[in-house]
Amino acid sequence: MIISFDQDLFEILLLSMKINFISLMIACILGLPFGSALAVLRFPVRKTIIAISNALMSLPPVVVGLIVYLYLSRSGPLGWLELLYTPTAMIVAQVILITPIIISLTCQIIEDLQEDYREYFSSLVMPPQKAIKAYLYDARYSLVTVVLAGFGRAISEVGAVIIVGGNIDHLTRVMTTSISLETSKGNLALALALGIILLTISLSVNFLAAFFKNSAKRKAYV
Amino acid sequence: MFKNINESSKILLPISLNNIAYHKNGNQIISETSLTIKSKGITVIMGPNGSGKSVLVRLLHGLLVPTKGVIYYGKHPLKKSIRKKQAMVFQTPTLLKRTVLANMTFVNSIRGRIDLTYCKNILKLLSLEKFQSYPAQLLSAGEKQRLALARALILQPHILFLDEPTANLDPSSIHLIEQILKNVRESGVKIIFITHDIGQAKRIADDIIFINKGKILEYTNTSLFFQKPQNKETAAYLEGELIL
């Protein structure tokens, strides 16, 4: 199926990549600066926010799926947007699941870097927004692991996306939901083909990240 | 190379410590003390290990806040606008995880627009031009310290603090740094320098502060400090007999 470029299979693959990539991008845009700001800035509820974001890292996907479903369903507060059973709803659910991971891990990495930089940055009388940018830049190679963790969560997600996406053929069917469906139907060839692709993507991304980190280590950037 | 700031640096002098004290976790690190540093040039702070030299410099630079008392620069208490006219070189330099040139441009960008030529000129002055695109973390100890000084100089400070910048460096690196500091002094920058090296203090200091157990025991000009120490502890330190 993979070698013969099966149309359905590649449609599923493309949609999966699109949803995962957009979700990850949005989660990174939100999570990286927020996590960094949490590490750098000092304000009264900071520790509470860190604790909450740590707790949200282990959010059960089906619960997120259910909450997003309730909000987006026709009778829900955002029902008028008519997003339920669309790729957008799947992206929303994915972002909710990935963002806390990005925030928490970013915060930890930047806090570690701060141990080295704090006094020097204080000596430079650096404005906080400039410090946040500098921390994000200097932790760039360590943050690859954070993005990878987010990617791992996104690519393996089934529970939330099946609830809000509905696993509709040619519309919201992605790799994980397809594997689940095709296995239950006994269509193991397609399920296996999708599984191989999923595994290949996951391994390739990990190898690529490891390559980047190793090259950064040689330059003592990590 | 260095902008002459003789006139503008005057407003930051004298540096006055008015009944300064610093405590941490119930321990008295700096005893209540008053001191006025009037002179331009290089003031060296000497004293045995753990005597409070680094804490004193951190108080002067505003990295630590005194438990008691106020530090004045000219007529103004130490505040952010004064701190922006200062720079500090730490004993163990914190280098950013970037190239040597990127370390320079980053610091340069904090106070305004990046002047690449000026960054490169400062690197050249410290014999670091060939390392421009080299990762800063991979430099040798001496090169790292020179880069730390280069980054401080690019800020064009009116007051420059150095916390044992030449400890563990080879004689040629020490010589280079001393020569540069002398040039910086000529441009009107006030330098406050911590060292244990008596020879170095004799070579570069205009005046010397001697501190022991958190107390400033002596502040005098260099020749007097070495020829006629005013108290027993200073004499013992110079003889190598003072142990904290």
User: For residue range A125-139, what is the model confidence (pLDDT) as tens digits?
Assistant: 999 999 999 999 999
Across chain A, mean pLDDT equals: 93
The answer to whether the Cβ–Cβ distance between A220 and B138 falls below 8 Å is: yes
Nearest-by-Cβ selection for B97 from A120, A130, A138: A138
| Residues of chain B by 3-state class (helix, strand, coil), percent to 5 | 40, 25, 35
The answer to whether the Cβ–Cβ distance between B87 and A119 falls below 8 Å is: no
Q: Give the count of beta carbons closer than 10 Å to the beta carbon of residue B9.
A: 19
* B30 vs B228: CA distance, rounded Å: 25
DSSP state of B99: B
Higher pLDDT, B69 or A222: B69
* A33 vs A99: CA distance, rounded Å: 11
Grade residue B2 by pLDDT with cuts at 50, 70 and 90: low
Contact residues, chain B, for A119 at CB < 8 Å: 63, 90, 94
A61 to each of A92, A162, A195, how far by Cα in Å? Answer: 12, 10, 20
Q: Tell me the three state secondary structure of residue B57.
A: helix
| Shortest distance, CA A137 to any CA of chain B (angstroms) | 9
Question: Hey, which bits of B27-85 come out as E strands?
Answer: 27-37, 42-46, 68-73, 76-77
Contact residues, chain A, for B135 at CB < 8 Å: 219-221
Short-list B160, B238, B235, CA closest to B199: B238
Q: Tell me the three state secondary structure of residue B102.
A: helix
What's the mean pLDDT in A93-106? 97
| Shortest distance, CA B144 to any CA of chain A (angstroms) | 14
Residue type, B162: L
End-to-end CA distance of chain A: 41
The answer to whether the Cβ–Cβ distance between A120 and B138 falls below 8 Å is: no
User: For residue range B152-187, what is the model confidence (pLDDT) as tens digits?
Assistant: 999 999 999 999 999 878 899 899 999 999 999 999
Predicted pLDDT at A1: 60
**Position B244 pLDDT exceeds 60:** no
Q: Thinking of the domain B6-238, which architecture would CATH place it in?
A: 3-Layer(aba) Sandwich (3.40)
| Shortest distance, CA A123 to any CA of chain B (angstroms) | 7
The answer to whether the Cβ–Cβ distance between B135 and A126 falls below 8 Å is: no
- For chain A, the DSSP string reads -TTTT-HHHHHHHHHHHHHHHHHHHHHHHHHHHHHHHHHH---TTHHHHHHHHHHHTT--HHHHHHHHHHHHSTTSTTGGG--TTSHHHHHHHHHHHHHHHHHHHHHHHHHHHHHHHHHHHHHTT--HHHHHHHHHHHTHHHHHHHHHHHHHHHHT--HHHHHHHTT-TTTT--HHHHHHHHHHHT-HHHHHHHHHHHHHHHHHHHHHHHHHHHHHHHTT--
Contact residues, chain B, for A120 at CB < 8 Å: 90, 94
| Shortest distance, CA A216 to any CA of chain B (angstroms) | 10
Calculate what percentage of chain A has a pLDDT beyond 90: 86
What's the mean pLDDT in B121-127? 94
Kind and range of the H or E run holding B216: strand B215-221
What's the mean pLDDT in B205-211? 96
Grade residue B3 by pLDDT with cuts at 50, 70 and 90: low
Domains and CATH numbers, chain A: 7-218 (1.10.3720.10)
The answer to whether the Cβ–Cβ distance between B137 and A219 falls below 8 Å is: yes
Grade residue A68 by pLDDT with cuts at 50, 70 and 90: very high
Count of CA atoms in the C-beta half-sphere (13 A) of B65: 3
The answer to whether the Cβ–Cβ distance between A125 and B84 falls below 8 Å is: yes
Nearest-by-Cβ selection for A134 from B84, B106, B138: B106
pTM: 0.89
Contact B68/B41 with Cβ under 8 angstroms? no
Find the closest chain B residue to A115 by CA distance: B94
**Position B225 pLDDT exceeds 90:** yes
Predicted pLDDT at B120: 96
Chain B contact residues (CB < 8 Å to A): 61, 63, 80, 83-84, 87-88, 90, 94, 96-98, 106-107, 110, 135, 137-138, 155
CA quadruple B147, B152, B155, B157: dihedral sign: negative
**Position A2 pLDDT exceeds 90:** no
| Shortest distance, CA B36 to any CA of chain A (angstroms) | 23
Question: CB under 8 Å to A95, separation ≥6 — which residues?
Answer: A23, A26, A27, A30
The answer to whether the Cβ–Cβ distance between A125 and B61 falls below 8 Å is: no
Nearest-by-Cβ selection for B63 from A117, A122, A126: A122
Predicted pLDDT at B4: 65
Nearest-by-Cβ selection for B90 from A120, A130, A220: A120
What per-residue string of b and e applies to B20-44 under the rule 16 or more CB within 10 Å gives b?
A: bbbeeeeeebbebbebebeebbbbb
**Position A168 pLDDT exceeds 90:** yes
Most A CBs within 10 Å: which of B89, B97, B139, as the mutation test of the A interface?
Answer: B97
